[in-house]
Amino acid sequence: MNFAYEYNFLPIEDAIKILLESVKIRKGGFKTHINESIGMILNESIVSPVDVPEVNRSAVDGFAVCSDEVSLASFNNPIILALKKNGEGFDCSSTVQVNTGMPIPSPYDSVVMKEDARIYEHSVHILKSVPKYGNVSKKGEDLKKGDIIAEKGQILKPWHISLFASVGIKEVEVLEKIKIGIIATGSEVVDINNTHKKGEFYVFDSTSRLIYASLIEHNFLQLTHYGVVEDEKEKIVEVLKKALEENDIVITTGGTGPGERDLTFDAILNLNGQILSRGIAMRPGRPTTIALIEGKPIFLFSGYPVASFVALRFIFLPFLSKYFGTKGLENIEIPAKLTKRVTGGIGYDTFIRVNVFRCGDELCAEPVMLRGSGILSSLLKTNAFMIIPRNVEGFEEGETVWVHLI
Amino acid sequence: MNFAYEYNFLPIEDAIKILLESVKIRKGGFKTHINESIGMILNESIVSPVDVPEVNRSAVDGFAVCSDEVSLASFNNPIILALKKNGEGFDCSSTVQVNTGMPIPSPYDSVVMKEDARIYEHSVHILKSVPKYGNVSKKGEDLKKGDIIAEKGQILKPWHISLFASVGIKEVEVLEKIKIGIIATGSEVVDINNTHKKGEFYVFDSTSRLIYASLIEHNFLQLTHYGVVEDEKEKIVEVLKKALEENDIVITTGGTGPGERDLTFDAILNLNGQILSRGIAMRPGRPTTIALIEGKPIFLFSGYPVASFVALRFIFLPFLSKYFGTKGLENIEIPAKLTKRVTGGIGYDTFIRVNVFRCGDELCAEPVMLRGSGILSSLLKTNAFMIIPRNVEGFEEGETVWVHLI
């Protein structure tokens, strides 16, 4: 047995750190219409070219007034102002009707709501006073010219698109899509579209489909699935080579174990690949292996779906986020009270599927302890993961733990 | 002023209830490949056609054994078993090599890990005992034949696709996409693509773009944007008619106020529409109006982006979810400690943008109290909403509130 075959089980953070130091993926940016930019990674920082609002605007339907002039106005003591039209000379003894969103002409500083005034042909009786800038959206109150709307690396959300539009920005520069190639391996694994390949002993490919379906929501990625490859080194080398040529990153599922059928590892050595981490100190997902070929990372995920999902969520996506400096990919961690004791294993991070639900005045997390990383149905029954760090033995019932919603 | 113009400000739940009772949208289902079904609404319940695993399978690389036979095995007392190959007759005095995932042949009931055995040409020395079913994934342990994998109404997530694949289901019936027409209104509103229309007093359309961008992540919707329509009743009637013909639901932005420029309401009456709720008891978003024309709902959202976003999130999506019986659209509510006092208004639900962050052993929610529903930048600075219900005056600093992450 070759030394290179031995696991070293790097901790997750160390594997990510080594990846960040070794990987070389260069992506350019391109200009795109803001309506096409949702979910893409912004490749420039965007500052507001204008104040928002650009001028003082009315926040209601009503009458623009000088607040000092109407300071004593009340129902019993209406202040009478001359009603002017736009284009006529305005002064504090007059008023002009304004609708919501309309600029406030000088010298007015505030707006009396329609229902607090009585309109006559040439005059308006103001029945209520208004403070200075009352009912006015002030110039720059939402954004000031030069304010940062979105930083480089931001994964664009609906409100970014809306803000770009509101300040008149029609195009932004986004990062080219990151190309991900996905390869399933295993002679016993059958793609659901190729059922004629079913042998006596087979399983359908569900793991690479889980990876594919999990990544497809990210608009900044471009996915290519290379189907299922048999456990023959030449075939794996061939597909891996093609996938590396066509993508920035390759993910394989299956073939990570120490068994003689686990040839993906061999294929990588064959292509002069460098192993960054043979195994990761995590459970499930211990055989997860990370390699590098000509600057491009290859993630060897377990053939087991849950192990693979954990590696995707807690290694692959955090790596992507850090490497490309993205903002907005991380989810907030949530505290919840454990409903029963859980134990992990010293030396590796243990990921436990939990079902988070409201219990009285807090959230509870019910661990779903199912044997084996192959238990795909556990993802149906749970809505979060909790982590027992590798230096912690476990958590007691009633303790607060931090969970990641899925 | 017509009676119909007067606001009635129904509470959110009442507006949704009336909608559910009045709306008539009929959608059919269609069969689609599971790889195309992500984010769609499942239109049938799916049960597993098989046990998963279908047979007892090895969970490790090792040797299949009868557990009773090796119960006394230890490093110092190896149990010697004859090494058989597949096809040869198996009995408890023999063993056969199995790899991870391989079926366990009869009469074996458990698997000894490779590292706990020594292999010779025709025999294997077992160095460790193993309990019955040790290292075995038992038939049906993940799913039993007939178990429900996904219920009708489920919005399909990556693990559903993966599960369908794992049990050999290639196609599922999903609901036809729900067609949503979006119309921006307002003579002062300029689409960012039609900047030649800029008048002296204009604002860019950011609100309908926020709605569009917020809905586009939902694969079960099909969106059509009808651009910006001027405040002319005939033009609004025309576009509204077209949008109603081509869609199941129409959303308009702007034109919900009591002002004379707010003509969307008139246009609906003109089309013999029925007003279900003129205004909603919520802030922001009070002018939100809901109407019905020939069974199809029309949501009149405010021209202000945040008001519109709140209406989308807390009226439109919950209505959709309830009407189509979807599962998986709701987000879990999170408890967080308020960092300062907030007050609402008796009689209406107040939505307050908050920034949720980790503070020691819990989450804190910092309210971002910005005047006006037009403050789009508040969505940049916050990551959640909290609600002050209409029968509650407010919450004190330090109280636990429940927030909705955005």
The three-state DSSP-derived secondary structure of A219-263 is: CCEEEEEEEEECCCHHHHHHHHHHHHHHCCEEEEECCCCCCCCCC
What residues have CB less than 8 Å from B93, skipping those under 6 apart? Answer: B69, B81, B82
- What are residue A348's DSSP bridge partners? A345
Residues B248 and B179: beta-carbon distance below 8 Å: yes
Decide if B332 touches A, using CB distance below 8 A.
Answer: yes
User: Number of residue pairs across A and B with CB atoms under 8 Å?
Assistant: 201
CA atoms within 13 A on the CB side of A336: 29
In 3D, which of B178, B153, B352 has the Cα closest to residue B251? Answer: B178
In 3D, which of A35, A55, A162 has the Cα closest to residue A106? Answer: A55
What residues have CB less than 8 Å from B234, skipping those under 6 apart? Answer: none
Q: Which of A204, A213, A333 sits opposite B158 (nearest CB)?
A: A213
Of the residues A51, A100, A330, the best mutation for testing chain B's interface (the one with the most B CB atoms within 10 Å of its CB) is: A100
Q: What is the pLDDT along chain A (406 residues), one digit of tens a residue?
A: 343 467 889 999 999 999 999 999 999 999 999 999 999 999 999 999 999 888 999 988 899 999 999 999 999 999 999 999 888 889 999 999 998 888 999 999 999 999 999 999 999 999 999 999 999 989 998 889 999 999 999 999 999 999 999 999 999 999 999 999 999 998 889 999 988 888 777 889 999 999 999 999 999 999 999 999 998 989 999 999 999 999 999 999 987 765 556 688 889 989 999 999 999 999 999 989 999 999 999 999 998 899 999 999 999 999 999 999 999 998 899 999 999 999 998 899 999 999 999 999 899 999 987 655 557 788 888 999 999 999 999 999 999 999 999 9
Q: Chain A window 44-63: which residues touch B at a Cβ cutoff of 8 Å? A: 52-53, 59, 61
- Terminal CA-CA length for chain B: 39
Instruction: Let me know how long chain B is.
Output: 406
Cis peptide before B367 (omega within 30 of 0): no
CA of A78 vs chain B CAs: smallest distance (Å): 23
Q: How far apart are CA A155 and CA A38, in angstroms?
A: 8
- For chain B, which ranges sit under pLDDT 70? 1-5, 257-262, 370-374
Task: Copy the structure tokens of residue B293.
Answer: 């024309």
Question: Does the B334-405 domain belong in CATH 2.40.340.10?
Answer: yes
Q: Chain B window 359-378: which residues touch A at a Cβ cutoff of 8 Å? A: 361-363, 371-372, 374-377
- CB-based burial label for B400 (10 Å; 0-12, 13-18, 19+): middle
Q: How far apart are CA B223 and CA B208, in angstroms?
A: 12
Q: Which of B38, B206, B334 sits opposite A213 (nearest CB)?
A: B38
What's residue A373's pLDDT? 55
Decide if A194 touches B, using CB distance below 8 A.
Answer: no
Q: The tokens 């982006």 sit on which residue? A: B305
What residues have CB less than 8 Å from B59, skipping those under 6 apart? Answer: A372, A374, B100, B111, B135, B136, B137
Would you call B123 helix, strand, or coil by DSSP?
A: strand
Mutual angle of helices A158-166 and B207-215, in 10-degree steps: 160
CA of B163 vs chain A CAs: smallest distance (Å): 7
Cis peptide before A284 (omega within 30 of 0): yes
Whether residue B206 and residue A165 make contact (CB cut-off 8 A), yes or no, is yes
- Chain A residues near residue B228 by CB distance under 8 angstroms: none
Whether residue B100 and residue A362 make contact (CB cut-off 8 A), yes or no, is no
- What are residue B80's DSSP bridge partners? B125
Q: In terms of DSSP H, where are the helices of B216-368?
A: 233-246, 264-270, 305-311, 317-323
Q: Which of A216, A358, A372 sits opposite B137 (nearest CB)?
A: A372
CA of B84 vs chain A CAs: smallest distance (Å): 18
- In CATH terms, the fold of domain B29-52+142-175 is Molybdopterin biosynthesis moea protein, domain 2 (3.90.105)
Provide DSSP, B154-183: BBPPHHHHHHHHHTT--EEEEEPPEEEEEE
A334-405 and A3-27+176-323 share a CATH fold: no
- What are residue B42's DSSP bridge partners? B174
Q: Which CATH entry fits the domain spanning A57-137: 3.90.550.10, 2.60.40.10, 2.170.190.11, 2.60.120.890?
A: 2.170.190.11
Q: Which of B170, B210, B335 sits opposite A192 (nearest CB)?
A: B170
CA of A162 vs chain B CAs: smallest distance (Å): 5
Decide if B165 touches A, using CB distance below 8 A.
Answer: yes
What's residue A260's pLDDT? 57
CA of A325 vs chain B CAs: smallest distance (Å): 18
Decide if B269 touches A, using CB distance below 8 A.
Answer: no
Whether residue B161 and residue A52 make contact (CB cut-off 8 A), yes or no, is no
- Chain A residues near residue B209 by CB distance under 8 angstroms: 34-35, 161-162, 165
In angstroms and rounded to an integer, the radius of gyration of the C-alpha atoms of chain B is 31
H/E stretch holding B299 reads strand B296-301
Residue B270's CB is within 10 A of a number of other CB atoms, namely 15
Q: How far apart are CA B378 and CA A159, in angstroms?
A: 9
- Chain A residues near residue B332 by CB distance under 8 angstroms: 334, 356, 358, 363, 383, 405
Q: How far apart are CA A92 and CA B47, in angstroms?
A: 75
- Chain A residues near residue B188 by CB distance under 8 angstroms: 101-102
Q: Which of B165, B216, B372 sits opposite A59 (nearest CB)?
A: B372
Class of domain B3-27+177-323 (CATH, top level): alpha beta
CA of A251 vs chain B CAs: smallest distance (Å): 16
Residue B385's CB is within 10 A of a number of other CB atoms, namely 20
Residue A125's CB is within 10 A of a number of other CB atoms, namely 16
Decide if B356 touches A, using CB distance below 8 A.
Answer: yes
Of the residues B145, B159, B329, the best mutation for testing chain A's interface (the one with the most A CB atoms within 10 Å of its CB) is: B159
Decide if B379 touches A, using CB distance below 8 A.
Answer: yes
Q: How far apart are CA A175 and CA A406, in angstroms?
A: 26
Of the residues B377, B381, B401, the best mutation for testing chain A's interface (the one with the most A CB atoms within 10 Å of its CB) is: B377
- Chain B residues near residue A162 by CB distance under 8 angstroms: 206-207, 209-210, 213, 305, 376, 379
- Terminal CA-CA length for chain A: 39
Question: Does the A3-27+176-323 domain belong in CATH 3.40.980.10?
Answer: yes
Decide if A97 touches B, using CB distance below 8 A.
Answer: no
What ranges do the domains of chain A cover?
3-27+176-323, 37-52+148-175, 57-137, 334-405
ipTM score for this prediction: 0.91
Whether residue A363 and residue B335 make contact (CB cut-off 8 A), yes or no, is yes
Edge-to-edge, what's the strand order for the sheet holding A289-293?
A221-229, A178-185, A249-253, A296-301, A289-293, A274-278
Residues A188 and A254: beta-carbon distance below 8 Å: no
Q: Chain A window 311-330: which residues touch B at a Cβ cutoff of 8 Å? A: none
Q: Cα A119 from chain centroid?
A: 52
Q: Which of A206, A362, A363 sits opposite B162 (nearest CB)?
A: A206
Q: What is the pLDDT of residues A81-124, one digit of tens each?
A: 999 988 888 999 999 999 888 899 999 999 999 999 999 999 99
Task: Copy the structure tokens of residue A357.
Answer: 């639900």
Q: The tokens 């192990």 sit on which residue? A: A307
**Strand pairing category for A334-338 and A274-278:** unpaired
Q: How far apart are CA A302 and CA A284, in angstroms?
A: 9
Q: What is the pLDDT of residues A31-47, one digit of tens each?
A: 999 999 999 999 999 99
Whether residue A168 and residue B204 make contact (CB cut-off 8 A), yes or no, is yes
